[in-house]
Chains A and B, each alone.
Chain A
Amino acid sequence: MKVKSGRRGTARRVLEKWQLYVLLLPALLWLAVFAYYPMYGLLIAFKDYKGRMGILGSPWAAPLFKHFETFFSTSIAVNAIWNTVIVSLLTLAVGFPIPIIFALLLNQIRHAKLRKTIQTISYAPYFLSTVIIVSLISMLFSANGLINGIITDLGGSEVFFTSLPEWFRPLYVGSSVWQSMGFNAIIFIAALVGISPDYYEAAIMDGATRFQRILRIDIPLILPTIILMLILNVGNIMNVGYEKAFLMQNNMNTTVSELISTYVYKVGLQQAQYSFATAVGLFNSVVNFILLVTVNFISKRFSDISVF
């Protein structure tokens, strides 16, 4: 009896709110068609997908993990995984602390207008597209570009930045930091603004220097924000965007610039090996998701901070 009335209650509650569901409808449709329907499409990673037969009609791969096995048996697999991990670890190691340091230093500028101006300038590159960023790299770092001009003026000899494999990672990471430092700093700056002036007044009374105030007040108080952002970043470690690597790729640097995502694009869309490419992409997503959940769990355990 009770259950029944409860159910009827739920139904009535839902019906009463039908107008809210109408407001939700466009987004729910999007969710179904462009987010979860493609997830259902992941099934083809375990099938031999044939366009005419559709996702369900295509025969299962035999063995089921055939495409995964094929991927791991190639030398490309190890290389692409390694490249992906290295590029993202480098980006994290360099790109994560720099916005925090920038925010801490910017916060020490007492002239409000100057502080605002520097901040506004700092996220200008965020509005540039990946194509523009890579274009800038190719023009400024070309043989007769600005950077080589400066190098030769200083008595050095030309460096072929865009074709030498060993320069791919520094350019990739460096340009990422250049582009997103200001943007990534926004939330740390917001956290710093939220710190009560009482702390500083007390610290000044005790004779703390600016540097000590940063170390003993600023950093501990924005630590929760730092940890939260770190979880999100680590959780995206395998999600290295294919756009930039793809655009920076040329015949000379594929040994370091071939990432899992660029490889998926090549075999999947350029060679139309849908099932195989989907399997590779799925492997990537799963590893990434496991990383996120693990980091989130560890953080929840030790610091009570978590994304979900």
Chain B
Amino acid sequence: MKEHIRRKGPIRQSAGDRAFNIVNAVVMTLITVVIVYPLYYVLLASITDPVIVNSGKLLFYPESPYFEGYARAFDYAPLWTGYGNTLKYTVVGTAVALLCTIPAGYALSRMDLPGRRVIMFLFTFTMFFSGGIIPLYLVIKSLHMYDTIWAIVLPVAVSAYNLIVCRSFFDTGIPTEMLEAARIDGCTDFKFFFRIVIPLSSTIIAVMCLFYATALWNMFFNPLMFLSGKENMPLQVVLRDLVLMNQATSMTNNAEEIAMRQKLVEQLKYCIVVLAAAPLLIVYPFLQKYFAKGVMVGAVKG
């Protein structure tokens, strides 16, 4: 009876297939572990006694919890200034980028826009050739944007790739019949865009928010080049100073803490990395549907 069912089943597994499935399961498990474990380890290390962490042993659960690192991190003002700056740059930057990209993406999706091909080419060209950092730096200087939020926000207000993703979305998402019908009713291009296109575009707006916000949140080099004051630096620069340039020692200036200092410094690094990485890692699974969609839309016509 059992054999009978197996033979009638739509997919008969050969020995080769069974071996393949086993190998595949092993490979997939390995990949998942290699991706997840380092992140999990850092999280554990941030709440575990640094003596254990520094012995370099594998951690699987929080043994001898130790929260001094977080206590220090929460007291450390530059970290929170950095957080505040990053938040500001991300919110303003994303808003500016949407304002530039979404309307342009729509306009470029319109077949009846004169000069569409030339303009599209001019944008695409920037994906493959650019002036480079020095000329951009000189532009920022000459526009008196150096050391202002605009130096952070404006150079990344449009990315040609995102613009293409947007245009492709409107190409397929807004049927021409809709435009024709609206035109017969005397609808202008403005009205059509704001009243009809925008309400239909929540997907692409979400995708663009995620793309631009991720880039802005993670931005490191532009602030380093275009800002001078420490009080304006975003989280990534603060993070670099603390973790990679070992400036964390400056955080404990109390004399009696010198003995504890080294211990604490190591743990602080883990805490700060967790604090910096957490927001995006918590948010992305909820938006990943849009994210994957955006990448695919871009790939089709990219």
Contact = CB atoms under 8 A, between A and B. Distances in A.
A129 B136 contact: no
Interface in B209-242: 214, 217-221, 225, 236-237, 239-240
A233 B299 CA distance: 13
B295 A247 contact: no
Contact of A109 (B11, B24, B38, B288): B24
A209 B103 CA distance: 50
Given A14-B114, A37-B135, A144-B55, 4 more contacts: A19-B188, A28-B119, A139-B273, A247-B244
Contact of B39 (A119, A124, A149, A207): A124
Interface residues of B, number: 96
B257 to A, nearest CB: 21
B126 A274 contact: no
A41 B21 CA distance: 57
Contacts of A44: 134-135, 138
For the residues of B in contact with A, the DSSP-based class is: helix
Given A139-B269, A146-B41, A23 B103 contact: yes
Contacts of A125: 35, 39
Interface in B27-73: 27-28, 31-32, 34-36, 38-39, 41-42, 45, 54-58
Interface stretch (A79-87, A89-97, A178-186): A178-186
A129 B56 contact: no
B78 to A, nearest CB: 15
Contact of A19 (B16, B138, B189): B189
B88 interface: no
Contacts of B100: 26-27, 30
A199 to B, nearest CB: 15
Contacts of B204: none
B243 A135 contact: yes
Contacts of B122: 31, 36
A42 B132 contact: yes
A17 interface: yes
Contacts of A23: 103-104, 106-107, 189-190, 193
A127 interface: yes
Contact of A190 (B35, B142, B219, B299): B299
Interface string B265-302: 00001100100110011001100100110011001001
B136 A109 contact: no
Given A27-B104, A105-B28, A277-B134, A149 B99 contact: no
A102 B31 contact: yes
Interface string A148-179: 11101100000000000000000000000010
A10 B28 CA distance: 58
Given A41-B135, A124-B39, A281-B134, A136 B299 contact: no
A308 B124 contact: yes
B157 interface: yes
B130 A35 contact: yes
A230 interface: no
Contacts of A190: 292, 295-296, 299
Nearest to A307: B302
16 contacts: A17-B189, A41-B135, A121-B36, A130-B218, A131-B220, A149-B58, A182-B35, A204-B11, A209-B16, A209-B17, A209-B20, A211-B16, A225-B299, A247-B220, A264-B134, A278-B134
A153 B281 CA distance: 31
Contacts of A130: 218, 220
Contacts of B155: 34
B242 to A, nearest CB: 9
Contacts of A55: 138
Interface string A38-58: 111110100000000011000
A24 B105 CA distance: 8
Contacts of A285: 129-130, 132
Contacts of B34: 178
A27 B131 contact: no
Q: Which 10 A-B pairs have the closest CB atoms?
A: A149-B56, A38-B131, A41-B135, A27-B104, A129-B218, A281-B132, A23-B103, A19-B189, A38-B135, A187-B299
B123 interface: yes
Contacts of A39: 129-131, 135
B221 A243 contact: yes
A122 interface: yes
Given A24-B107, A144-B55, A13 B132 contact: no
B208 interface: no
Given A24-B107, A292-B128, A42 B16 contact: no
A21 B190 CA distance: 10
Contact of A118 (B28, B115, B296): B28
B112 interface: yes
A24 B103 contact: yes
B165 interface: no
Contacts of B79: none
A210 B17 contact: yes
A187 B296 contact: yes
B110 interface: yes
